[in-house]
């Protein structure tokens, strides 16, 4: 039987007499409340396709279950009795996001309202998968105890890994993560953490974070470039993640042949070049925190990857036509700006007019967004 994390959700989170967390109509209202915290009940009715009576009934039911918090009346909405403001109740549930990169495991604890409760980083060097997972569990438990989090409110785990999807919950990751590759991660991790686990490619979870917490708040169609040991990303269409037929939409490195792979904008090759030039950069995390554009080898690397980078940007523009291309993952902002400065658009104006082209935006997240996107994934799958 195929692994389905939905089958492992605690009964306490399910609707009475049902095997789902929320109904279709409840999900549509929760999504609106997520996007517009503090929305009044009357405003919620105006933005939904449901009748006023239905909205009131559903909100009351969600409030009774503790999913929605009904606040004080919202003033200034015209005549009549002020309508109460609505927010997701973060205390109803919290989740954990785990992002596995080649050099670090990033962990994020998040409540139902999207508030970050804790962020943890665990170096991966010289640790086996079993050792890394044991340490991750210890750190999660310590954070739960420190924050006084109720174990019963622990809804589930989102898990992102730097590798392309092979089917089920199997991923094919780069050599430093060979132990994590080509195995069914979902059931193994669910047994280990005793929680339902939703698995995904790390570039996709980064794209989810950008769509829900970053530029996606005002741009609904974007391409997310995830610069890590390798190079991938994700596509957001009308605010939703585009997976493709095999779950690998946004695997941008797939457009390069064997020779071009050597000059794609993957941070592994930059670290190798820096080390050859006498700059001691032990990891991508170290490089992000300490990046200096004047390090010997940086400009040479940018020169080498610019042709492949430019072809990628133009391919995304031509095939997907996003409103923005976001530079994310573990890329240092200064390095992202150097690439943006070298961007060349392959446009051929007609009648002196060019096609609209996407904005190039550096992600504002201070760290890799993949853990945040992983943390919100259980809620996206089940609540909104």
What confidence tens digit (pLDDT) does each residue in 170-213 have?
A: 999 988 999 999 999 999 999 999 999 999 999 999 999 999 99
291 plus 332 within the same structural domain: yes
Residue pLDDT, tens place only, 134-153: 999 999 999 999 999 999 99
231 plus 351 within the same structural domain: yes
220 plus 339 within the same structural domain: yes
Could you tell me which of 246, 166, 207 has the C-alpha nearest to residue 374? Answer: 207
CB hemisphere CA count around 112 (13 angstroms): 23
For residue 381, give the DSSP letter: H
The CATH number of whichever domain residue 252 belongs to comes to 3.30.420.40
User: Is the four-CA dihedral 289, 295, 297, 300 of positive or negative sign?
Assistant: positive
Please, what is the end-to-end C-alpha distance for the chain in angstroms? 27
79 plus 103 within the same structural domain: no
The answer to whether residue 269 sits within a structural domain is yes
- How much of the chain exceeds pLDDT 90, in percent? 92
Could you tell me which of 349, 381, 374 has the C-alpha nearest to residue 160? Answer: 374
If pLDDT is split at 50, 70 and 90, which confidence band does 82 have?
confident
Q: How does the average pLDDT of the chain come out, rounded?
A: 95
Average pLDDT of span 310-333: 97
The answer to whether residue 288 sits within a structural domain is yes
119 plus 165 within the same structural domain: yes
Average pLDDT of span 320-349: 96
Angle between helices 52-65 and 24-35 (to 10 degrees): 80
Range of the domain at 48: 20-88
Question: What is the C-alpha to C-alpha distance for residues 371 and 209, in angstroms, rounded to an integer?
Answer: 8
28 plus 44 within the same structural domain: yes
Question: What is the C-alpha to C-alpha distance for residues 102 and 231, in angstroms, rounded to an integer?
Answer: 12
Question: What is the C-alpha to C-alpha distance for residues 238 and 261, in angstroms, rounded to an integer?
Answer: 31
**Domains of the chain: total:** 3
Average pLDDT of span 9-26: 96
84 plus 130 within the same structural domain: no
240 plus 319 within the same structural domain: yes
246 plus 339 within the same structural domain: yes
pLDDT recorded at residue 79:
57
The answer to whether residue 237 sits within a structural domain is yes
If pLDDT is split at 50, 70 and 90, which confidence band does 366 have?
confident
pTM: 0.94
222 plus 185 within the same structural domain: no
278 plus 310 within the same structural domain: yes
C-alpha dist (Å) from residue 36 to 207, 210, 250: 20, 17, 28
Question: What is the C-alpha to C-alpha distance for residues 163 and 140, in angstroms, rounded to an integer?
Answer: 24
The answer to whether residue 12 sits within a structural domain is no
193 plus 107 within the same structural domain: yes
For residue 154, give the DSSP letter: E
Residue pLDDT, tens place only, 218-237: 999 999 999 999 999 999 99
- Mark which of 38, 66, 88 sits at the end of a domain: 88
């Amino acid at each position: 039987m195929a692994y389905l994390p939905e089958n492992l959700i605690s009964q306490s989170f399910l609707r009475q007499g049902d095997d789902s967390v929320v109904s279709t109509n409840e999900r549509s209202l929760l999504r609106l409340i997520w996007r517009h915290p503090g929305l009044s009940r009357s405003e919620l009715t105006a933005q939904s396709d449901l009748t006023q009576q239905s909205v009131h009934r559903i909100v009351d039911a969600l409030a009774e279950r503790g999913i929605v918090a009904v606040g004080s009346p919202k003033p200034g909405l015209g005549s009549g009795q002020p309508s109460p403001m609505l927010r997701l109740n973060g205390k109803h549930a919290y989740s954990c996001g785990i992002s596995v990169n080649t050099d670090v495991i990033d962990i994020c604890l998040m409540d139902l309202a999207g508030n970050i409760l804790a962020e943890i980083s665990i170096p991966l060097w010289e640790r086996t998968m079993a050792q890394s997972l044991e340490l991750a569990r210890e750190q999660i438990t310590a954070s739960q105890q420190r924050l006084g989090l109720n174990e019963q409110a622990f809804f589930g785990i989102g898990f992102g890994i730097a590798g392309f999807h092979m089917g089920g919950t199997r991923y094919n990751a780069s050599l430093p993560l060979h132990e994590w590759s080509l195995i069914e991660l979902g059931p193994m991790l669910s047994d280990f953490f005793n929680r339902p686990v939703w698995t995904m490619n790390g570039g996709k979870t980064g794209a989810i974070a950008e769509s829900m917490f970053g530029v996606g708040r005002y741009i609904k169609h974007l391409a997310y470039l995830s610069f890590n040991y390798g190079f991938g990303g994700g596509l957001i269409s009308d605010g939703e993640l585009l997976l493709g037929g095999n779950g690998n939409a946004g695997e941008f490195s797939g457009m390069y042949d064997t020779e071009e792979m050597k000059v794609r904008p993957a941070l592994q090759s930059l670290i190798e070049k820096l080390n050859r030039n006498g700059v001691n950069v032990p990891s991508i995390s170290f490089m992000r925190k300490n990046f200096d554009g004047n390090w010997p080898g940086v400009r040479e690397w940018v020169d080498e990857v610019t042709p492949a980078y430019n072809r990628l940007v133009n391919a995304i523009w031509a095939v997907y036509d996003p409103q923005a291309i976001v530079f994310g993952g573990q890329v240092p902002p200064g390095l992202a700006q150097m690439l943006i400065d070298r961007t060349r658009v392959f446009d051929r104006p007609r009648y002196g007019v060019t096609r609209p082209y996407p904005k190039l935006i550096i992600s504002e997240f201070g760290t890799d967004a993949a853990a945040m996107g992983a943390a919100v994934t259980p809620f996206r799958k089940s609540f909104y």
